[in-house]
Amino acid sequence: MSALLEIKSLSKAYPGVQANDSVSFEIQPGEIHALLGENGAGKSTLVKMIYGLVRPDSGEMLLHGQHFAPSKPGEARAAGVAMVFQHFSLFEAMSVAENITLGMEDAPARTELSAQIRKVSAEYGLPLDPDRLIGDLSVGERQRVEIVRCLLQNPKLLIMDEPTSVLTPQEVNTLFTTLRKLSTEGVAILYISHKLDEIKALCNSATILRGGKVVGTCVPENETARSMAEMMIGGELAMPAARDFQPGETLLELSGLSLPSLDPFGTSLKDITVTLRAGEILGVGGVAGNGQDELLLTLSGEIPVAPDMVRLKGEAIGNLGPVARRKRGLLAAPEERLGHAAVPEMSLTENAFLSGRVRNGLANRGFIQAKKRDAFADDIVKQFDVRTPSISNQAKSLSGGNLQKFVIGREVLQNPSVLVVNQPTWGVDAAAAAAIRQALRDMAEAGAAVMVISQDLDELMEMSDTFSVLAEGHLSAPQPAAGLSVEEIGLMMGATHKEAENA
Amino acid sequence: MFGDLSLVSLIVSLMIASTPILFAATGELVVEKAGVLNLGVEGMMLIGAISGFAVAVSTGNPIVGFLGAAAGGAIAALIFGVLTQYLLSNQVATGLALTLFGTGVSALMGQPYNGLKPPPSPRLDIPVLSDLPVVGPILFSHDIMLYVSLLLVAAVWYFLYRTRGGLILRAVGEDHNAAHSLGYNVILIRLGAIAFGGACAGVGGAYLSLIRVPQWTQDMTAGVGWIALAIVVFASWKPYRVILGAYLFGGVTVLQLNLQALGVNISAAYLSMTPFIVTIVVLVIMSANRRKTSLNAPAMLGRIFHASH
């Protein structure tokens, strides 16, 4: 059998970084091939070259034995290469059908397209209504739109970048069924994920990248998640130790917290009541778009609510803004790294100052204490292993995982009483994720309370003491995390979602 | 108090007063749908007003004049386009600068044309229909450009919501990163929209200098460009509502002019203010419901697109 796609010593350099260094591998028709590597290992650059978004500096690609060098995504699509992005390329205010049209080269007329969408989506077990607005769909449904858009063009190679990071366990199963069906039909799949258990379950072969080079290949079935992770980082993986949970005094109390959503596609918070005690890590699970962003905003103080709804150590602070809350010890690290947690165009030192000014005394009567500020930024970079040429680099120049370590480290080093984090390890590789989780655990160990909002159930199960689910703006009563199975939680999360589908 | 006002002539002058706003607002709507905020409408209208006037006077043909106005407006808009799309300058500041630039340049260009009369524009004249009482003057005997403005709105609606080109343009305004990753050329599409917006603003300006007034005077737009910007928001980015908005504000303008002429016992200063006050009040009411407004607003409005790969 001849290879579908052959990649021959492909290289690409960006200023200061060799993103890909003479990468070679092959994909056979019908093969599900995993691409493994830490953040910044060069996976994204590689798939962007295959999809025509980035041009290689040197090297060659062969598709069906023919020279293949797409100069734009349209050419790649015409040649049978389709891609599902990690950050969906969907337009919220447009309908499913319109979104699909935009991703096709020669889309058929409206009614015919709608019929095709219904047919293909039913065939692969991904039901979709072509007339609904993307903004009204759940994340899982949005991914279906991306996949159906690819399938309508009869791809020979489907590239999937981190497809399961935001799905419920049940949705992941559905996705895998679809992918296996495609594979039996001869479609090759290039699969990028940090979830090594999934790769073990799904993929036939794997290529491992480190520092832009291929450092190994393996058959995932014959490996363990741990052995693959160690191949990726080229060393031993530190696993967090189990810890005893001894709840202390109550630090944060939410009572009847409600917030009507301002965003037309947002979710209103409904009567959220929960307490966080010293030493406790509360995991908040749930599918994205069920009020996670709104919850974080009301806790950070960006959206003020009635004073009594949020109490910190007994004091009513619901109406206070972020600075006043920081002063009192309630800190938050939002999900969106660029533009929310950090100012992209500002340096790391400046970003450190913006958050740490009050608690770490980085300003004196309105003047910046430059030495203290730089020392603070240095501390974050050193203690959290943020890989950056210098602390004066712009925040946006860091890779996602490195910036995430910086953002979390910045809050942790301010010794908060209560820290709220949303998606702390989103798009972060295994080693960095383990380091972030360990830092949060250490904080709780030292007597702080931590609320972790995440869609990664494995992560929540690994680090939470108590667990609850945010669904349609309601927060379920926290339960001890120890006794719960992933299946039970998946059902809790999907409950409201399923109802909406059947309606 | 309105006894001396003829309703028919009021409606006729209302339509004429509204047309410059309608042209400019329709153009700006397309620009904003592509995710670009060009605050230079006033400047582009002035440049259009004088280029149209100059071309019409020198050729003796008002239609060629309007083409010249469109070209003038588009060139002015493309200065803004190059600055904001290629050099990534701030859209708000650049738009304001364009207005200041347009005011100055048009005054300079207009020096030789003060006091001249433009050639008359062709009017619709259909036997029988145009002579009908009431209906005739309101529907069938305007200048051609007034009908063009209404056709333009229909054409823009059709383009935006019924063609693939319009879908792509809206997609660029909705999420430029997603559009880019699907392989669309965000910058070129936006430049096209910006040039179209400038051409429409130019034609709107020339409608003032060639038909409504008709002569060239410095700063003759007198705020119409700003009203056009407000109307795009008022219309919540929907083409048909732009007609409604433009005619509403045109109506208020005409009404206050007529009241002034009738010598109503309100200071002329207050009456002249009314269109602007009404604009502000309506915008406040519209914006009060943020949820509803943001549903229609292009999500990338005014945001700089920087291709990251």
Exposed, middle or buried: residue A482 (CB in 10 Å: 0-12, 13-18, 19+)? exposed
Assess if residue B283 is contained within a domain.
Answer: yes
Max Cα distance, chain A (Å): 73
Contact A262 B183 (CB under 8 A): no
Tell me the pLDDT of chain B (309 aa) as tens digits: 444 558 888 888 999 999 999 999 999 999 999 999 999 999 999 999 999 999 999 999 999 999 999 999 999 999 999 999 999 999 999 999 999 999 999 999 999 999 899 998 888 888 888 888 888 888 888 899 999 999 999 999 999 999 999 999 999 999 998 898 888 999 999 999 999 999 999 999 999 999 998 999 999 998 899 999 989 988 889 999 999 999 988 888 888 888 888 888 888 788 778 877 887 887 788 777 666 666 678 888 888 887 654
Q: Of the ranges A138-152, A303-317, A349-363, which one carries the lowest mean pLDDT score? A: A138-152
Best to test chain B binding among A102, A106, A303, A399 (most B CBs inside 10 Å): A102
Report yes or no for ipTM above 0.85: no
Q: Give a yes or no: residue B215 inside a domain.
A: yes
Alpha-carbon gap: B80 to the closest alpha carbon of chain A (Å): 23
Q: Which residues pair with A368 in a beta bridge?
A: A363
Is B27 part of a structural domain of the chain?
Answer: yes
As given in the structure block, the two tokens for residue A312 are: 């910190």
Distance of alpha carbon B126 from alpha carbon B141, whole angstroms: 8
pLDDT at A1 over 80: no
Three-state SS for A363-431 is EECCEECHHHHHHHHHHHHHHCCCCCCCCCCEHHHCCHHHHHHHHHHHHHCCCCCEEEEECCCCCCCHH
* Residue among B178, B296, B309 whose CB faces A91 most closely: B178
Give the separation between CA A284 and CA A420, rounded to whole angstroms: 10
The residue in chain B having the minimum alpha-carbon distance to the alpha carbon of residue A150 is: B182
B170 located within any domain? yes
Q: How far apart are CA B275 and CA B224, in angstroms?
A: 10
Of A53, A92, A94, the CB nearest to B181: A53
| B307 part of a folded domain | no
Alpha carbon A290 to its chain centroid, in Å, reads 16
Q: In angstroms, rounded to a whole number, what is the distance separating the alpha carbons of residues B98 and B83?
A: 11
Domains A5-233 and A250-502 share a fold: yes
CATH superfamily for domain A250-502: P-loop containing nucleotide triphosphate hydrolases (3.40.50.300)
Residue for token digits 């790969």? B309
Q: For residues A180 and A31, what is the distance between their CA atoms, to the nearest angstrom?
A: 10
Query: Among A50-54, A499-503, B202-206, which range has the highest average pLDDT?
Result: B202-206
Total domains in chain B come to 1
For position B74, what pLDDT does the model report?
A: 97
Residue B227 domain boundaries: 7-123+142-296
Q: How confident is the model at residue A500 (pLDDT cuts 50, 70, 90)?
A: very low
Q: Which residues of B touch A (CB under 8 A)?
A: 164, 167-168, 170-171, 174-175, 177-179, 181-184, 290-292, 294-296, 299, 309
DSSP letter at A391? T
For A265, the closest chain B residue by CA position comes to: B295
H/E run at residue A8: strand A5-14
Q: Are A362 and A376 in contact (CB under 8 A)?
A: yes
Interface-testing mutation among A57, A89, A98, with chain B (most B C-beta atoms within 10 A)? A89
In angstroms, the separation between the Cα of residue B306 and the nearest Cα of chain A is 12
For residue B305, tell me if it sits in a domain. no
Nearest CA in chain B to A83: B182
Using CA coordinates, name the residue in chain A closest to B288: A262
User: Where along chain A do its domains lie?
Assistant: 5-233, 250-502
What 8-state DSSP symbol labels residue B208?
A: I
User: Smallest Cβ distance to B309: which of A48, A88, A264?
Assistant: A48
A192: tokens are 């990028």
Of A53, A72, A91, the CB nearest to B175: A91
Phi-psi region of A283 (alpha: psi -120 to 50; beta: other; left: phi over 0): beta
Per the listing, tokens 């039996």 go with A184
List the single residue in B182, B295, B299 with the smallest CB-CB distance to A102: B182
The CATH code that applies to domain A5-233 is 3.40.50.300
For residue A45, the surrounding DSSP H or E stretch is helix A43-50
Of A89, A93, A262, the CB nearest to B299: A93
Tell me the nearest-neighbour CA distance from B307 into chain A, angstroms.
11
Q: How many CB pairs under 8 A join A and B?
A: 62
pLDDT of residue A158: 94
CB atoms within 10 A of CB B2: 12
- Tell me the per-residue pLDDT of A273-295, one tens digit each, with 9 for 90 and over: 999 999 999 999 887 778 888 99
Q: Output Rg (C-alpha) for chain A, integer angstroms.
A: 23
Q: How far is B300 from chain A (nearest CA, A)?
A: 11
Residue B209 sits in a domain whose CATH number is: 1.10.3470
CA distance to partner chain B, nearest, from residue A75 (Å): 9
- Please identify which residue in the block is written with the tokens 């990251």: B308
Among chain A residues, the shortest Cα distance to B289 is held by: A262
Say if residues B114 and B228 touch (Cβ distance below 8 Å). no
How far from B168 is each of A231, A271, B94, B162, B175, CA to CA, in Å? 43, 41, 25, 11, 11
